[in-house]
Structure 1
């Protein structure tokens, strides 16, 4: 195809991408991982800013979904290392272009670096005064979002994590196919908008959403504006944060590495001689 890669070509390209990512230096991975955490957090905050005063739940989700994809666009086109997108590196590992040790090295470094970037951004937002917007209603939404996330049962968070990263890695997959900037923008936009509107759970985004709520959870103005009860804040702590991140992260890995990564590796790399890689397959 002239304007984009076929699925089979994407899978082959991801072998090369996996090698570059796996063998990048620790310092570079940390820097690029922190940047990715910040980029996703920018998108998370903007999605809250645009939707916090919209009463209709559907319209609020739509507004958030329209803005949030900018985070992945920054990761893909400006350049950064995002844990959830890097779940596709399983293709390179299964093709034996990289070892599973190199795969897990990348995942661990990038995951922790994403965490640092997201928490840093959440702290800066908590100190910016921007959460006072609309008489504190934005701050109230930040707290409510965090409370809602730490209140999701383990099993539900796990399933939402699976569904989320199916869409995230599909966005990365299609962005890899695109050969021009406009194609990459649209490839990122629609799958990410779909996951946000659907209410699925993204581990790196939650590294911003939950700490942001924790940082301002004692602000009486926001609590009053949102009519938030004390018992609702009880789970909003470090335990609640990891109670969400653990199942969501596991779900993200299943959705990204197993459901999509392994499926496309099997179809387009393992049994590639049986397929011609046309777009209709």
Structure 2
């Protein structure tokens, strides 16, 4: 009887394959999937705000828990419905690089394209639904949006960088677990808990910030210069969390088993060709 999930060394191989595949998409495909992922994460954050804003005072803590519980819908949609999310690619694509399947240029090119289209998707939701539809521009919802954005912008470079590491250590782990599950329910569970954890803790996610800070800016609070000063350390922290604490860590832990499998596969193929000859 086969198990419902892959073992960690098998997940490594699956992740490497996905990392290679991500760099092979056409620009059009990357653009569409990048937009989708940015919008999905923004919609998850919008749901978080709509749930937590009315819950204040003694039940504010419960509100945070409830908000964190629903936020993962964005990553679930991205990984199951289809999307290219920068933070996940910060783990999977470099892993393909560690395995020498792709070059550094391909990694950087992928990150640049997905960053841009994640941003377009996120600010689309912030402007269309948050600003024009009024979902983050009035009453308690505006107050919550501004409060969240202000808290993120108040962090200094080091604080934002370290917070970014913690965030993508968990988000990349969620992606890793989703690759390890063989069924949809298993994938949802694998995505849900690490994502909920990072949100409840309050770590900074570069794509989530692409929604909440512009949403506050569209209502006349803060500036784009302030946004950029937050974007840089959070981006670098997320990259460190994904590349080092998940990608590199598991590559160093399991690369021997992965290499042995590849060599056995090559040997079996040679033998097969020899027998046919």
TM-score, normalization: structure 2? 0.89
SS at 2:136's partner residue? helix
Shift of 1:60: 2.2
The equivalent position to 2:197 in structure 1, one of 194, 199, 217, is: 194
Give 5+ residue unaligned stretches, structure 1.
218-232, 276-281
Runs of 4+ in 1 over 6 A off after TM superposition: none
Count, aligned residues: 256
Distance 1:170 1:192 in 2: 9
The 8 Å contact of residues 127 and 218 in structure 2, kept in 1 or not, is answered as: yes
Q: How does 1:67-216 map to 2 (within 5 A)?
A: 67-88=70-91, 89-124=93-128, 125-131=130-136, 136-216=139-219
Instruction: String of CA shifts for 1:96-122, please: whole Å, max 9, x gaps.
Output: 111111111111100111011111110
Distance 2:29 2:224 in 1: 28
The 8 Å contact of residues 146 and 214 in structure 1, kept in 2 or not, is answered as: no
- Cα gap change, 1:185 to 1:264, in 2 (>3 Å): same
Tell which deviates more after alignment, 241-250 or 122-131: 122-131
Shift of 1:150: 1.2
- Cα gap change, 1:185 to 1:271, in 2 (>3 Å): closer
Shift of 1:57: 3.6
The 8 Å contact of residues 23 and 102 in structure 1, kept in 2 or not, is answered as: no
Q: Which residue of 2 aligns with 1:9?
A: 10
Give 5+ residue unaligned stretches, structure 2.
262-277
Tell which deviates more after alignment, 266-275 or 195-204: 266-275
SS at 1:170's partner residue? helix
Distance 2:82 2:137 in 1: 32
Distance 2:27 2:247 in 1: 24
Distance 1:156 1:77 in 2: 32
SS at 1:84's partner residue? helix
- Cα gap change, 1:48 to 1:8, in 2 (>3 Å): same
TM-score, normalization: structure 1? 0.88
Greater Rg by CA = 2
Q: CA RMSD in A?
A: 1.6
The equivalent position to 2:237 in structure 1, one of 251, 261, 268, is: 251
Distance 2:183 2:110 in 1: 27
Shift of 1:238: 0.5
Distance 1:214 1:17 in 2: 36
Higher helix share: 2
- Cα gap change, 1:101 to 1:273, in 2 (>3 Å): closer
Distance 1:166 1:270 in 2: 23
